Structures are given as C-alpha cells and as structure tokens.
Structure 1
Amino acid sequence: MLFSTSLVAAVGSGSGPSSSPRRLRILNTKKKSNICELTFPTAVLSVKLNRKRLVAVLIDQIYIYDISCMKLLHTIETSPNPKALCDLSSNDDSILIYPAPGPNVASPFNTDSDSKEPGSEVGTVVLFDGLNIAPLNIVKAHKAELVTLSLNSNGTLFATASVKGTIIRVFSTLTGEKVAQFRRGSYPATIQNMAFDLGSKLLAVTSDTETVHIFKVHIKEGTNQSNNSDDEQDDENDDAEPNILPRPGPLHSEPERKRQPSITDRVLRNLPKNITSMLEPQRDFAYLKVPNHQKQKKSTVGFSSKDVVVASSDGSLYTYTIPQNGGECVLVNEYALD
C-alpha cells in the first residue's frame, strides 16, 4: 500500500495465470479498479513504492518504475537474492539499497572485475539513486553475508545485520560512513526485521528469539565509528577497504591534536581484540518480549507515534509503549486475526 492511500500493489501466490507470483497488479481499492498489470520473467519476491517510484524485486533483478505512468526506467542485475534484500526510502529522493552483486554480474561498480577478489562483495551494500537512476556509493558493512537491511524514512541512514545476528550497524547514505553500532546479543540469532521510527531516533530489531530490541540512535556530526570489528570475525583491516566511489573530502582540514593516552586508553590497548570490540557497541535502550513466541514464527516491527507495533506471522498484532527511561516495554493492546 502506498502510505494511507487507496493505491495497492498485489502479487499472486497461486499456480493459475490470474494468481501467478510473476504477476503484479496495481489496484485502486477506493474505485475498485485495476490500474495496470505487469508480468515478470520470474516470481516477484517483494514490492517497494513511494510517491515517485515503484520497485519490484525478483530473484536476480530489480525493476524500477515511474509510479505516475508505470514506465520502466531501469533494470538492475543482482546476484541471487532469495531473501529479496532491498529497501526504498519513503521520501521523493527514492534512495535504494541492495546487496552488492558478485563480479560476474553486470554492475556500474564492477569496472575492474579481474582485480576483484572472489567473495569480496559479501556483506557489501549498494546505494542507488532511484529518482535520477544513478549509482551513489558502495559500503562494506559486514564480513559475513547480509541477512537484512533497512532505510530510515528520509533515506539518510540505513541499518544492516549479517547472518551472525549479533551486531547491528547504522551508516550514512550521504557519506557511506558508519555512524552507530549496536549489540543485539552475544549469541547468534537470525535478524528478521529492522525499522527506524519517524524521527530516526530509535531503531527496533526483531529476530527468531522472543526479544525485540530497541536502540537509541545517537549521531554526532562528523563522527565516524571506524572500528568494524566484532564477534563476526572481522579483522583489523575491515575499515581499510575503501568505498569504490570516492567520498568527498572536508572543505578544510585542521592539524590533528595529539593527547597523552589515559589509563583507560592503555588498558583497552592491552586487552585482546575480541574483548575490546565487545566493549564498543551500544546495548539496547528498551526491549519487549513477544508473547507465545515460537522460533519458526516470523515477526515484523514498526512504530506508531510513540508506540511500538509488532506483527507475527501467526496473525497476532501487539502494541507496546516505550518507558521514558527505557527498560521493558509495556503491552497495551493485543489483536488476533482468526
């Protein structure tokens, strides 16, 4: 659905022509009319839309349409993407993010594929300008394979998680720099969904555990939390990998001021790498426990005003309030679709 309008994108799930998963229909529910129908070479795994663009995600392609006339503007070739990892900003800037394709896939970033090491695209995110149809940047987010990614509403920040599920990272789409890092837990889990609130002050994360974590996003201007190391076995040179597209430099630079190392600096310097990395990421500000949780159920999360809304694949919907000082959220409403 396009925000709260009557425009709905629907994809079939049957075997017949009218209900094929390769068929995308754009409907006006208020007028009860069919605006248009599109048929794709393979199943449509996900649809993203805002007031300017409609994006259809297939197993190895991303189609970008002008939503005003449903004209095909561009097709992006990707590596196999069965999870349909892709997100589109809800504002008119139409920032698009998706996992970087392998060296054998045609891409504006693969200009020197012979020198690219196999597997170097793993954990890497491509930023694409869906409004002007142009590549923006490429960011190495994790050493391990990506499992989910999410943009904030105005397309200035995006969050990523890998298959390890222990570390959540937040990057700026303007510079490609990492601006925040959070620890979900010490043990691996499968991250299912992430969502920023409207003001990009909070980030909610669901996984295959019963706990939904809510993190406070504190971003300081000019801050780059450069250490990408964590228990995902990232090495010391993780941040040494430059973005393929150059980042704009500062307008002026000031001489670096050196200070004498404090006692804390000396202690941290002598700690083993895996211990110091565990000290850096922030823990959650608030959390909630999903009732009747089962590992095979999937859940998605969102914000409604100051509340957190969690929807489960079993048809349950829960609304929680976040305590002002953090801690465990309070369940205020519960619904079930019978």
Structure 2
Amino acid sequence: MKALRFNQDATCCVVSPSPRLVSIYNCDPFGKCFEMDSGSRDDSQDSLTPPGNDANMDNNFVIEMLFSTSLVAIADKSQGSASAKRLKIVNTKRKSTICEISFPHQIADVVMNRKRMCILLESDQIFIYDISCMKLLETIDLWEDHFKKNTANAESASLRSRVRRSNAVGDRRKKPKLALSGDDRSILCFTSYSSPRNNPDSFLLHDVVVYDTLNISPINYLNSVHKGDIVCIAISHDGKLVSTASEKGTIIRVFNTGADTDYEAGNLLMYEFRRGSRPCHLYQLTFDRHATMLGCVGDTDTIHIFDLKHRQSESTNGELNEDELLQANEENHRLSMQNSEPSKQIAHFISKRLGSSIASQNLRRNFAHITIHDGWGHCLGFPEEFPNQIYIASDDGKFRVYTLPSTTGECVLTKASTFA
C-alpha cells in the first residue's frame, strides 16, 4: 500500500494498493469511489526504463485530483517509460479518458486548480496549460533559465543546459519542487537552480520563483531561502504564503510570496519554526484552507502542526543558524582549552553571537503533534469542512481522523478505517 496524496480540500485521498492499481477514496463518508487497474506490465515497455530512472521507485503513479470533481490527471509509471511520459485526463464518474498529453521526458509531478494545470518533467521543465481547453501556454526550462542568467552567450547557455539536463535525468539526487495555489489567481511556486559565485559549476536548489500562471510572468524571486537544497514546498490556497524545508529538515520557513502589492519587499520571511534538532527527511508540507495551520510530515514518528494565527513577536534577523552556532561553540571551547582568558573583544563577540542564538534555538515549535509508532509513511490533509480535524493516510492501509487539541499538545485519535 502506498498513500499518495489528498486532493486540495482533503475530501478525497489517493492510494496505490499494488504496483499497477490506483484507488480514490472519499474521506467522509469513508469509501472507495474510483479504481484504475493498469493490468499486466508490458515487458517490451518495461525494458525501456533504465534502473534508477524513476522519480520515486515507490510511486508508480503521479496523480492529481481537481478538488472533489471527477477530473483526475494520471501518469502511470508502472507500464514503462513510454507510459510515464504520457498524462491522462480521466473522468472518474464515466471512467473514461478525456484526453492524453505526451511529453519528451518522464512526468515527475502534476499540480492543478480550476484555471491552470502545471506539469513538472524529470528533465526539469515545467509545462503550463489552460485547463479549460488543455492549451499549452508556456514552457519553463529551469536549466536554460539558470544558464541564461549566468551566461551572456545564449547559444552557450542552451548547449550547457542540454548537457547538464541529459546528465541530470539519470541522476535524480536533486529534484525541483512545485506548488500551485488553489484559488483562481493560480500562483505557482517552484524551486530554481543557483550557483555560488566562487563555484559556478556547483548547483543548489535553494531559490524559489513565484510565478503568475494567469498572466504568464514571474512575480518574485526568493533567493537562498535555505543553505541546502529545498526538498519540500507548499503554497497557501490564496497564493500569499509559501513554505519551504531543506534537506536538513530542522527548520521550516514561511515567506510572503509578494503576490499582493501591499507586501514589504524587505520583510518576506513571515514565520520560522523549529521541527527538531536532529536531521529528518521531510516529504510533505501543507497549509489548511485559511493558512492558519501548517502541517509537516517526514520520516520520523511525529507529525507536526504549526500555528500561523499569530506572527512571531521577535524578528529572526541576525540569529545564528546551526553552522554559525557550532562555529562559535568551537571557538569558545578552543579558548578554554588554551587555559587562558579570552580578550574582552573576543569575549564580547562570543557572548553577543551566542546570546543572539538563544532566540534561534527557541524558535516556535509545533502547536500540536501526532505520534504514530509504526515506521510507515504518511500523508496529511486538512479537511475544509471540519477545520478542527486532521486526516492521516498511511502506507499500512490505515485512514485516521484526529481532533486538534484546544491548547498545545497531542492530537486525539477519533476514528480509524482501513483501505480495502
């Protein structure tokens, strides 16, 4: 069993009970409403799929629902690379395929709302469609955009991007992420490559591009939002907030996207939360409908819920990050090992930097949490109809409903069901 994702309003959940089977369940009342069986795998197609070329070997489907409508976009990777390059738009009530769209590379992710559909390919290209007529509006090439920004010669930039992409398709350690707002404004956020000035051949996915898919134009660029690669991204329903987490998984940040004209350009960081002090691989961030809560799911036993109702009282500007804190501690230890008193200047520097780090170490933590000691993967949904509840779908085939606590603490399990 693989719990794939909830739809945008958490009225339905998508699971994959077997490698070639995908099912959709209503959450309330709980029950299966759609099932697609790919049948037996075609050996000839399978031979076209090189080992390790899948975006996620555990996920044989890339699937996105359009809220609680009958429209579903599905890319079936279980049938080989040719099928993984083809996106089917399916009507679940009629159990018929409305249209198929083929792409030059395998599909990595799909996001959509009532206005736009955006497809991310393994080649780091984003295709933007008008969902009303399935017309292609724009293609964003992350590699070409990166090299054009850093190379004066457009031909050289295009060549370098193609060479780099051909290597990247076989090496998926770095994976761009994207998220699309649920409202009709259709604000898209996606991670972008950047290179340090002292090492132009090194690439980090730690920038975020805010893009207006209605008018096909970028709105904002958030540079170096983390020191490492961004592995998780989420956008609020209204497109005003974007949340990110890096490969360390210790700090969760929430930024103003700049989609509104009244935002402060120098104060984009809205919230900063500490998930924990130990590294963790995070694979889901999600806002509730009104952006009052942020859910965080990773490969630990604890699912975190952060409170967004009140902005942090103290600015995090000037606080030490983990690397700076470690450096200051090592300097303090070195001085003490020399058995000598540090000079007044050094003592003042250390005390100032360590003092400023106290706020960083005491960043706001979760308002609520869910602890599940089973070792399985989970996905989280905030049901719009029941704002006091949280849905959890797990790879062990369980669907659980939790109630949020009235004060800071653990959520209460109120209902449990099993995917058939």
- The answer to whether residue 394 in structure 2 is matched with residue 303 in structure 1 is no
Structure 1: any 5+ residue segments left out of the alignment?
104-112, 237-265
Q: Structure 1: how far apart are the matches of 2:102 and 2:413? A: 43
Cα deviation, residue 227, structure 1: 4.2
Q: Structure 2: how far apart are the matches of 1:94 and 1:127? A: 11
- Larger proportion of helix: 2
Which residue number corresponds to residue 153 of structure 1?
237
Cα deviation, residue 6, structure 1: 0.8
Question: Structure 1 residues 207-216 or 120-129, which shifts more?
Answer: 120-129
Which of 214, 220, 229 aligns to 1:131? It is 214
Indicate how the Cα distance of structure 1 residues 228 and 95 shifts in structure 2: closer, same or farther if over 3 A, else same: farther
- The answer to whether residue 81 in structure 2 is matched with residue 21 in structure 1 is no
Which of 179, 186, 190 aligns to 1:98? It is 190
Deviations 1:51-93 (A, max 9, x none): 0001111111111000000001011112557645110111111
Which residue number corresponds to residue 172 of structure 1?
256
Which residue number corresponds to residue 3 of structure 1?
67
How many residues get paired?
296
Matched residue type, 1:54: M
Which of 290, 293, 312 aligns to 1:202? It is 293
Cα deviation, residue 197, structure 1: 1.1
Asked if the contact 1:99/1:124 (under 8 Å) is kept, the reply is yes
Structure 1 residue matching 2:188: 3-state secondary structure: strand
Deviations 1:246-270 (A, max 9, x none): xxxxxxxxxxxxxxxxxxxx99963
Cα deviation, residue 208, structure 1: 0.5
Q: Structure 2: how far apart are the matches of 1:235 and 1:125? A: 27
Q: Structure 1: how far apart are the matches of 2:315 and 2:278? A: 26
Which residue number corresponds to residue 328 of structure 1?
410
Deviations 1:286-320 (A, max 9, x none): 1111242x1xx432211122211122233222211
Question: Structure 1 residues 143-152 or 172-181, which shifts more?
Answer: 172-181
Q: Structure 1: how far apart are the matches of 2:325 and 2:279? A: 15
Indicate how the Cα distance of structure 1 residues 115 and 143 shifts in structure 2: closer, same or farther if over 3 A, else same: closer
Deviations 1:80-107 (A, max 9, x none): 576451101111111111111246xxxx
Q: Structure 2: how far apart are the matches of 1:301 and 1:325? A: 20
Q: Structure 2: how far apart are the matches of 1:330 and 1:127? A: 37
Which residue number corresponds to residue 162 of structure 1?
246
Structure 2 residue matching 1:91: 3-state secondary structure: coil
Asked if the contact 2:319/2:356 (under 8 Å) is kept, the reply is no
Indicate how the Cα distance of structure 1 residues 43 and 308 shifts in structure 2: closer, same or farther if over 3 A, else same: same
Indicate how the Cα distance of structure 1 residues 278 and 212 shifts in structure 2: closer, same or farther if over 3 A, else same: same
Structure 2 residue matching 1:272: 3-state secondary structure: helix
Which residue number corresponds to residue 143 of structure 1?
227
Question: Structure 1 residues 136-145 or 310-319, which shifts more?
Answer: 310-319
Structure 2: any 5+ residue segments left out of the alignment?
1-64, 144-167, 328-347
Which residue number corresponds to residue 12 of structure 1?
76
Which residue number corresponds to residue 130 of structure 2?
66
Q: Structure 1: how far apart are the matches of 2:280 and 2:413? A: 24
Which residue number corresponds to residue 88 of structure 1?
180
Indicate how the Cα distance of structure 1 residues 164 and 274 shifts in structure 2: closer, same or farther if over 3 A, else same: farther
| Structure of higher CA gyration radius | 2
Which of 171, 190, 206 aligns to 2:281? It is 190
- The CA RMSD over aligned residues, in Å, is 3.0
- The answer to whether residue 34 in structure 2 is matched with residue 34 in structure 1 is no
Deviations 1:116-145 (A, max 9, x none): 955575421111111111011111311111
Q: Structure 2: how far apart are the matches of 1:315 and 1:160? A: 28
Matched residue type, 2:134: M
Q: Structure 2: how far apart are the matches of 1:290 and 1:32? A: 36
Q: Structure 2: how far apart are the matches of 1:167 and 1:222? A: 18
Which residue number corresponds to residue 49 of structure 2?
none
- The answer to whether residue 370 in structure 2 is matched with residue 278 in structure 1 is no
Which residue number corresponds to residue 107 of structure 1?
none
Cα deviation, residue 335, structure 1: 2.1
Q: Structure 2: how far apart are the matches of 1:233 and 1:95? A: 35
Which residue number corresponds to residue 55 of structure 1?
118
Q: Structure 1: how far apart are the matches of 2:139 and 2:240? A: 23
Q: Structure 1: how far apart are the matches of 2:319 and 2:219? A: 22
Cα deviation, residue 282, structure 1: 0.5
Q: Structure 2: how far apart are the matches of 1:235 and 1:123? A: 22
Cα deviation, residue 170, structure 1: 0.3
Which residue number corresponds to residue 419 of structure 2?
337
Matched residue type, 2:72: V
Q: Structure 2: how far apart are the matches of 1:222 and 1:156? A: 20
Asked if the contact 2:126/2:140 (under 8 Å) is kept, the reply is yes
Q: Structure 2: how far apart are the matches of 1:224 and 1:172? A: 15
Q: Structure 2: how far apart are the matches of 1:86 and 1:68? A: 21
Q: Structure 2: how far apart are the matches of 1:55 and 1:307? A: 29
Which residue number corresponds to residue 251 of structure 1?
none
